[in-house]
Amino acid sequence: MSSPVVAIAYHSGFGHTAVVAEAVRAGAEDAGADTHLIKVDEITEAEWELLDAADAIVFGSPTYMGTASGAFHVFAEASSKRWFTRAWQDKIAAGFTNSASKSGDKLHTLQYFQTLAAQQGMHWVSLGLLPGWNSTEGSENDLNRLGFFSGAAAQTNSDEGPEAVHKADVATAEHLGRRVTETARIVLAGRAAVAA
């Protein structure tokens, strides 16, 4: 069976969220996916077609003013063309975000991605990790140290550059990439079995 194709459609204003996107890609490739990393603010027609052909699309954006960035919203609005044709119907979807505060209202960005995925008729994949860093035994180096369920969340200090994206958040994003790939593989195998 061919490898699942996982596309990561993301925006990053200053490079921090790009590090998280790379981590999702690394995790997906580690699990055997073919991947496409697509910057939604520079998206070409050929890249839209890569999204249409992908088995899974992972949405990513920094959290700006409590939601996805303006550039991501422009992309989401443009995806209404796919909404009309149901081009993304039944694809796998997942999401990640990064912001300066530990919370910073990141949950709202992930929920926005879930709504976008639902409007497109996609199947949302959660993070699938228990929360870390929430007991006396825990530490900031735990996987899912920020305690999200809907997707992968990262926090980067507002006065530091992309190199400061927390290693635990990078590992959490890699986990999401692997999980999306494994889920896509199961769905592809299931469809093939049903069609046989």
Ligand X SMILES: Cc1cc2nc3c(=O)[nH]c(=O)nc-3n(C[C@H](O)[C@H](O)[C@H](O)COP(=O)(O)O)c2cc1C
Q: Return the residues of window 43-62 that contact ligand X according to CB under 6 A.
A: 62
Decide: is 158 part of the binding site for ligand X (CB under 6 A): yes
Nearer to ligand X (CB atom), residue 16 or residue 185: 16
User: Would you list the DSSP string of 15-63?
Assistant: SHHHHHHHHHHHHHHHTT-EEEEEEGGG--HHHHHHHHH-SEEEEEEEE
* Residues touching ligand X, count (CB under 6 A): 19
Nearer to ligand X (CB atom), residue 66 or residue 190: 66
CA pair distance 7, 28, nearest whole angstrom? 9
Residue whose Cβ sits closest to ligand X: 104
Among 156, 172, 181, 183, binds ligand X (CB under 6 A): 156
Among 4, 5, 8, 17, binds ligand X (CB under 6 A): 17
Q: Where are the beta strands (DSSP E) in the chain?
A: 5-10, 34-39, 56-64, 67-68, 92-99, 123-124, 152-155
Alpha carbon 183 to its chain centroid, in Å, reads 14
The binding site for ligand X (CB under 6 A) comprises 12-17, 62-66, 98-101, 104-105, 156, 158
